[in-house]
Amino acid sequence: MKVLDIYENIPKIRNKNNISLIWNDKIKSNSRNYNSIYNQINVKPNFYKYELNNYLKKFIITNKSYFFSRFNLKKDFSFITLTNLIEKNPYKKNFNLEIIKKLGFDYFVKKKKTKTINI
């Protein structure tokens, strides 16, 4: 059974038997000891944009009585354009970054097949 330890920043001491994920820092060098959520996202940026679009689409369709009465949404509309993700830097501190990190976390947990998570 794999155990995932989540740290806010790079820790000074870690459990070497567990998988370590850093939540708020990027890792500059390729480290086998640590994984950064930002590095995971940057490996497949187009995948996460697609996943974010699907996530927002589900949210808007769930709340369609609000959105469809106020916006003229076309069939091929990209739901990312309703967010501020179209800015030059989508990774600055905003709500979209937290959604992307959540999507990256879900993918990371499935990929590593972890059973226990320590925060």
Arithmetic mean of pLDDT, 60-73: 74
Amino acid at 114: T
**pLDDT at site 76:** 63
The residue ranges of every structural domain in the chain are 2-118
For 77, other C-beta atoms within 10 Å of its C-beta total 14
Residue 102: its H or E element = helix 95-112
85: pLDDT strictly greater than 60: no
- pLDDT range class, residue 89, cuts 50, 70, 90: low
How does the average pLDDT of the chain come out, rounded?
A: 77
Arithmetic mean of pLDDT, 19-48: 81
CB 35 within 8 A of CB 22: yes
Phi first, then psi, for residue 114 (nearest 5°) are: -85, 150
* Secondary structure of residue 72 in the 3-state scheme: coil
**pLDDT at site 17:** 83
51: pLDDT strictly greater than 50: yes
